[in-house]
């Protein structure tokens, strides 16, 4: 396996962009990444585009606007891990020597989706449990109930990530929200699925993110950012769940635990080496469960870790300094690319108001999909970046 | 009589005028999966037989959704039900909110889940607490 480097990143502001199409959003993020990398898009040898609610040939449709043609372009759907999957496939192509440089895009317009299919909670199409009203919030509400029952989490603990991440998002120019929230405000907002209220859910968002990865040779020849320390994708794993029986506990999702272990092994580090993490906090409570599954603390101690302040700015390992999905917003297909780009930004020391000082090693994680008869969430994407 | 359809093909079989949940019991690994699909989800074996699922199980976890979802009006109580054969099934629970408890015993019932605009009745399964007597579908 060859080393893979980050050459450039780009993204749009996440939020409501009702006047911008999926193509507009994708092209803006792609162009920002190209400008950041200071190379011509004609250099790209392959491209991947992650999106969940897709327009046909979305990657080609976006990249033709940047003059990218006559190369293999692939469109990837893996729910909220669509962007992670796009990054992973590009990483793999370069690591295995199939190409030297390429771009991974992630894009989503939930405004466009709502115009087509309406608003409200939806289950996964063609899934039988979804037809019985199993939705993302109802699934994560069960996870929160497990946290309260098994880990002694209080409502304050369940609201913890929402409060922490909304606060962090204020200093991020790309985030959807610039507003702090309190436990009282969170619990006074409309209830979606007990105990999950609107202010514990990520917002509906439009946006796009892009990352340009390359081989070591290409990096040495083309990197023009002399002051930027080289940042490597040291581990990348897509981990899919197995069949579900009654022994499954969503607080211990095997695909995420094993996927994180595999990524640590690839990178030659352990969770204790992490300085910064960006993860899937679509629902506030799930962040506490993720601490355990990523090995940031011992199994069973996610609530304790939250209460210790270790995951806050200035703590041992800040989690979601960008504001996370809670405050950044969550354009589904874009988030998996955005979290990796955000970790690169942190390691380069270019995160401005939300910079984690001295960050050397970071992890990006996404989870996607809730289905029948398989341990949900269904797909975990994990990327580790090292300076 | 109104036209009736099953909410999802393969989840309920009709036997002697009654609808029952049928799963696949794998003869290779012994696991029961529901609904039956092409191969055993645990071991890929095609050596299985269709068996009725246990009608009584326990609530592993539940949640109460307070907003409408598709044809359902809130509150919608959803729960993972663990069956004695080790199968976990998601279903709605028709119960009073006060009596909801993890670990409570529930039994399966079948009936109309919702009615389409053209009058078609959509049949499915749901669970009710074992202790109390509930009527049919709403
Ligand atoms: Zn089997």
Per-residue pLDDT tens over the stretch B22-80: 999 999 999 999 999 999 999 999 999 999 999 999 999 999 999 999 999 999 999 99
Q: Report the number of distinct structural domains present in chain A.
A: 1
Residues B20 and B39: their CA atoms lie apart, in Å, by 21
Q: Which of A49, A80, A202, A317 is catalytic?
A: A80
For chain B, the distance separating the N- and C-terminal CA atoms, rounded to the nearest angstrom, is 17
Rounded mean pLDDT of chain B?
93
User: Which CATH number fits the domain that encloses residue A36?
Assistant: 3.40.47.10
**Which element (helix H / strand E) includes B123?**
strand B121-129
For residues A119-126, give the mean pLDDT: 80
Dump the DSSP string for A280-317. --SBTTHHHHHHHHTTSS-TT-HHHHHHHTTTSTTSSS
**Is B48 in the A-facing interface, judged by CB distances under 8 Å?**
no
Does A165 reside within a domain?
Answer: no
| Whether the predicted pLDDT of B138 surpasses 50 | no
Distance A127 CA to ligand 1 centre (A): 21
- Verify whether the Cβ–Cβ distance A120 to B124 is below 8 Å: no
Q: How many CB atoms lie within 10 A of CB A179?
A: 13
Strands B4-6 and B121-129: parallel
Question: What is residue A336's DSSP assignment?
Answer: H
Does A317 reside within a domain?
Answer: yes
Question: What is residue A187's DSSP assignment?
Answer: H
For residues A46-70, give the mean pLDDT: 96
Give residue A79's pLDDT: 96
| Whether the predicted pLDDT of A14 surpasses 90 | yes
Give exposure, B65-88, as e/b (b: 16+ Cβ within 10 Å): bbbebbebeeebbbbbbbbebebb
Give residue B134's pLDDT: 53
Q: How confident is the model at residue A123 (pLDDT cuts 50, 70, 90)?
A: confident
What ipTM goes with this model? 0.93
The CA radius of gyration of chain A, in Å to the nearest whole number, is: 19
Residues A139 and A120: their CA atoms lie apart, in Å, by 16
Tell me the count of A-B CB pairs closer than 8 A. Answer: 102
Closest of A368, A256, A262 to residue A302, by C-alpha = A256
For residues A148-156, give the mean pLDDT: 97
Does A245 reside within a domain?
Answer: yes
Of B134 and A374, more confident:
A374
Query: A186, A163 in Cβ contact below 8 A?
Result: yes
Query: B65, A192 in Cβ contact below 8 A?
Result: yes
Structural domain of residue A213, as residue ranges? 4-117+203-386
Does A172 reside within a domain?
Answer: no
Q: Which domains does chain B show, CATH number per domain?
A: 9-53 (no CATH), 54-129 (2.40.50)
| Whether the predicted pLDDT of A366 surpasses 50 | yes
Distance A253 CA to ligand 1 centre (A): 21
Encode A120-184 in three state secondary structure.
Answer: CECCCCCCCCHHHCCCHHHHHHHHHHHHHHHHCCCHHHHHHHHHHHHHHHCCCCCCCCCCCCCHH
| Whether the predicted pLDDT of A5 surpasses 70 | yes
**Is B83 in the A-facing interface, judged by CB distances under 8 Å?**
yes
Interface of A with B (CB under 8 A): 120-123, 128-129, 131-135, 137-139, 141-143, 145-146, 149, 190-194, 243-248, 250, 372-374
The CA radius of gyration of chain B, in Å to the nearest whole number, is: 16
| Whether the predicted pLDDT of B137 surpasses 50 | no
Does A87 reside within a domain?
Answer: yes
Does A159 reside within a domain?
Answer: no
Sign of the dihedral defined by the CA atoms of residues B92, A283, A266, A85, in that order: positive
Q: Which of A124, A132, A193 to mutate to test the interface with B (most CBs of B within 10 A)?
A: A132
Q: Which residues of B are less than 8 Å from A192 in CB distance?
A: 65-67
| Whether the predicted pLDDT of A53 surpasses 70 | yes
**Is B86 in the A-facing interface, judged by CB distances under 8 Å?**
yes
| Whether the predicted pLDDT of A235 surpasses 80 | yes
Query: Catalytic residue at A214?
Result: no
Does A355 reside within a domain?
Answer: yes
pLDDT tens, position by position, A290-322: 999 999 999 999 999 999 999 999 999 999 999
Neighbours of ion ligand 1 (CB under 5 A): B 26, 28-29, 40, 42-43, 45
Query: A238, A377 in Cβ contact below 8 A?
Result: no
Rounded to the nearest angstrom, the minimum Cα separation between A247 and chain B is 8
Of the candidate ranges A122-131, B47-56, B59-68, B108-117, the one whose mean pLDDT is the lowest? A122-131
Does A324 reside within a domain?
Answer: yes
Rounded mean pLDDT of chain A?
97
| Whether the predicted pLDDT of A124 surpasses 90 | no
Q: Which of A153, A245, A250, A375 to mutate to test the interface with B (most CBs of B within 10 A)?
A: A245
pLDDT tens, position by position, A165-214: 999 999 999 999 999 999 999 999 999 999 999 999 999 999 999 999 99
């Amino acid at each position: 396996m060859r080393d893979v480097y980050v050459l450039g990143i780009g993204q749009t502001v996440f939020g409501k962009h009702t006047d911008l199409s999926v193509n507009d959003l994708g092209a803006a993020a792609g162009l920002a990444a190209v400008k950041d990398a200071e190379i011509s898009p004609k250099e790209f040898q392959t491209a991947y585009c992650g999106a969940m609610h897709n327009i046909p040939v979305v990657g080609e449709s976006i990249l033709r606007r940047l003059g990218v043609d006559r190369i293999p372009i692939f469109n990837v759907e893996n729910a909220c891990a669509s962007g992670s999957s796009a990054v992973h496939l590009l990483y793999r192509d370069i690591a295995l020597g199939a190409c030297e440089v390429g771009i991974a895009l992630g894009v989503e317009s939930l405004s466009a989706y709502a115009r087509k299919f309406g608003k409200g909670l939806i289950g996964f199409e063609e899934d039988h449990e979804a037809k019985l009203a199993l939705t993302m919030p109802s699934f994560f509400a069960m996870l929160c109930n497990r946290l309260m029952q098994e880990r002694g989490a209080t409502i304050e603990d369940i609201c913890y990530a929402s409060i922490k991440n909304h606060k962090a998002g204020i200093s991020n120019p790309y985030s959807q929200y610039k507003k702090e929230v309190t436990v009282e405000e969170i619990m006074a907002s409309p209830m979606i699925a007990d105990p999950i209220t609107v202010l514990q859910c990520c917002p509906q968002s439009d946006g796009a993110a892009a990352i340009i990865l390359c081989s070591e040779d290409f990096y040495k020849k083309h990197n023009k950012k002399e002051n930027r320390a080289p940042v490597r994708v040291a581990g990348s794993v897509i981990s899919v769940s197995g069949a579900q029986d009654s022994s499954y506990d969503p607080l211990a999702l095997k695909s995420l635990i094993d996927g994180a272990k595999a990524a640590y092994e690839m990178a030659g580090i352990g969770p204790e080496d992490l300085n910064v993490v960006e993860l899937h906090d679509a629902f506030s409570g799930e962040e506490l469960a993720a601490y355990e599954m990523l090995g940031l603390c011992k199994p069973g101690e996610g609530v304790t870790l939250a209460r210790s302040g270790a995951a806050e700015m200035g703590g041992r390992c800040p989690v979601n300094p960008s504001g996370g999905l809670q405050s950044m917003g969550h354009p589904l297909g874009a988030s998996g690319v955005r979290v990796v780009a955000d970790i690169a930004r942190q390691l380069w020391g270019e995160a401005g108001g939300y910079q984690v000082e001295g960050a050397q090693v970071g992890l990006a994680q996404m989870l996607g999909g809730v289905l029948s008869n398989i341990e949900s969430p269904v797909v975990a994407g994990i990327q580790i970046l090292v300076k | 009589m109104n036209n009736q359809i099953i909410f999802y093909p393969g989840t309920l079989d009709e036997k002697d005028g009654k609808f029952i949940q049928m799963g696949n019991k794998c003869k290779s690994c012994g696991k029961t999966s529901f609904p039956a699909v092409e191969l055993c989800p645990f071991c890929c074996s095609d050596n299985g037989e269709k068996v009725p699922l246990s009608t009584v199980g326990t609530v592993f976890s539940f949640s109460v959704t307070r907003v409408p979802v598709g044809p359902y009006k809130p509150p919608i109580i959803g729960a993972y039900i663990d069956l004695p054969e080790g199968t976990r099934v998601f279903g709605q629970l028709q119960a009073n909110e006060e009596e909801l408890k993890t670990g409570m015993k529930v039994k399966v019932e079948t009936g109309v889940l919702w009615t389409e605009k053209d009058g078609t009745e959509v049949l499915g399964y749901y669970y009710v607490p074992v202790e109390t007597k509930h009527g049919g579908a709403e």
